[in-house]
Structure 1
Amino acid sequence: MSAAAPAATRVIGVVNVTPDSFSDGGQWLDPELAIAHGRHMLAQGAAILDVGGESTRPGAGRVPEDVELDRVLPVVRELAGEGAAVSVDTMRAAVAARVLDAGAHYINDVSGGLADRDMPRLVAERGCEVIVSHWRGHADVMNGLADYTHVVPEVAGELSARVEAFLAAGVRPDRIIVDPGLGFAKDGGANWELLAHVETFLETGYRVLIGASRKRFLGELLERDGVLALPTYRDRATAAVSALMAERGVWAVRVHDVAGSVDAVRVGSAVRAARRDSLGSSRSEREMT
């Protein structure tokens, strides 16, 4: 009997309920607009919606906990109440507890539990799924922490330590998703190396999330006459990354433009499936001879 086909890569749609996101600059700050945007992403094929109420763009300051909750809770309640699979991008265990009560399914902690040491315990108690990212410091200092000798093994090692913290708190391994944290304390070259060696993270056995969407290193790649491509002009490059990562077998890509990455993931997943079928056929032929 042949092994089951690997699950196709999911597309996670970003719903920023912030006034200062680098990618959409407060476009969805109003809860009703954010909810409508989430519904539109679902109609385009998003499998999960990732709602965030605190910007993590380089240089951004923290917002008070009550402000973050005021931004995200109405959106989470409505979208989860309509049956959407909802993730919340938060570094605070207290916020995580409230959004889980409101119906969220995933906690996306870009700090990997470093910003709030209560996060692993909270996740273990609730039994929810958690995205554990590589991170070295908050947005206002992270650009000064992008110093690596060998970025891939260093990120893998530091991320493994964060996973161990969640395991030690009692989180089940099958509830953990890992994210190498593109753009977080990493320059453009580091981001490309991490993408080129994504198998390092896939080989851990944990599901892997890649969040390249509209990030600065794509703007640098598309630079013309010394001017970086604006965030919304990076969507086609984002889709290219989505196709490449789907072909490698990542669990999900997190994007702002869902439609483009849904199509891109289909392409990458089709190539992956064809390669798998071809390898399977070759193996069967060898066994028959």
Structure 2
Amino acid sequence: MKLSHPRALMMMVLVTMMWSIAGVTARHLESAKSFEITFWRSLFTLLSLLVILPLFQGREVFAKVRNGGAMLWISGVCWSVMFTAFMVALTLTSVANVLVTMALGPLLTALMARALIGHRLAARTWAAIGVAGLGIAYMYGAQFSLGGDEMVGTLVALCVPFAGALNWTVVQRSQAQGRNIDLVPAVMVGALLSALATLPLAYPFQATPHDLRLLAGLGLVQLAIPCALSVVCARVLKAPEVSLLALLEVIFGIALAWWGANEAPQATVLTGGALVIGALVMNELLGWKQQALQRSSSRSA
């Protein structure tokens, strides 16, 4: 599938909208709880990818899994942690808490790449990390004062950006060593590992047919399809564009939970989230501008 730049932008917006339906959908489940929710969503994601990926990449996708080596399986473990922690966190705390915490992913990736690979960070990125840290500290401070499930859920949600940061760092290191990891088969491995890990914890099954329909929809529409489409978009869009558009998931997700499940975000979450997202947007925009100036100067030279 080949896309023009405007169509890739539109498709990436659609992808973020599909990602954002998890929270509001989880609020309409009748009986399924915690690890059972994760098990069914991961299983339906796996089954969907077993159909979708051969259509995109042919049967060679299965050879990529067999021959991917340790790095692909490490990436798969990271995906499984993200799948599991995300849904468990949604059962413990608000959609807004989870999504704002996940928005830390790009900055945590930058820090981890600095620590493990030695990537140098620009001054603007350090500033963005500081501002986002203040936002998260403000939001987490309110959660710690409340205690209970809210605090636990927010801490579980923090596993998602940490696993994502490790995932991208592993991919970058492998690419630097001349080994390319195809992330889409790694997602399929992650769905498999997440389903296997949560199966023993899912008993006794309590999901109603209504729940299973919703969870099947999450596996297909919220993960499998947007995963495949985002890979197509990433071939056309620049990294800053993808990073900025991905932040729409936070906005869409909070809005959908507010509108579709009457879950109004707390003022502390909105304030802390504004600091996090503002820091990310400014960092990406400044980086984009700097790259444009460098390209312009190199052409003129």
Q: Which structure is higher in helix share?
A: 2
Q: Which structure is higher in strand share?
A: 1
Q: TM-score, normalised by structure 1?
A: 0.27
